[in-house]
Structure 1
Amino acid sequence: HAILRTNFYSGWHGQPLQIVYRHKSPSFHYQDVRGREHAVAEFVVQDKARGFDLSKDALMRVSVFRTGESSYRFVWSFHHIVMDGWCLS
């Protein structure tokens, strides 16, 4: 989808500019955190603090953490410009 390859610049002649790239790598993170019970919670705190730079960051980030032999945690971070509360239902 085009929105997953999009960034927004605010300095173009005083007007916002939407750029849709032909190719842009998605933001995906995988980590095995078995035995480290607070690793996912720490990641979530850091991820929220990181925020999004609309001019260069992927506007949606996906992270998967292996927490056990057959259990995983999924963290889905996105900017409000891509999705809002109405989209989640």
Structure 2
Amino acid sequence: MPADLNPDYGQYSWTPVGTNGFQSEPYNAGSQADGSGVSLVVTMALNAKSKQQIDVWGQVQMDLAPALAAIAGGSTTCLATVEGSYTKN
């Protein structure tokens, strides 16, 4: 279980994915949350590759209403993805 790896993971709801993985969406402000023109979703996944390695994937997606994107001088979608792994020595 993810909480066995990191006690902080125990506060999230995890969904089994495949035979050795788990996925969670610890934060979701929904589509254009409360009329603010901004939505934010954080997703993370863990996948055990062996007894020594667990792959980690995290993604943050922020969507802005077109008017806010114009003010910021950017696009309506900002997506950041991080990949890595925990390795036991």
Same fold by TM-score, threshold 0.5 exceeded?
Answer: no
TM score, norm. by length of structure 2: 0.31
- TM (normalized to structure 1)? 0.31
Higher relative contact order (CA 8 A, sep 6+): 1
Bigger strand fraction? 2
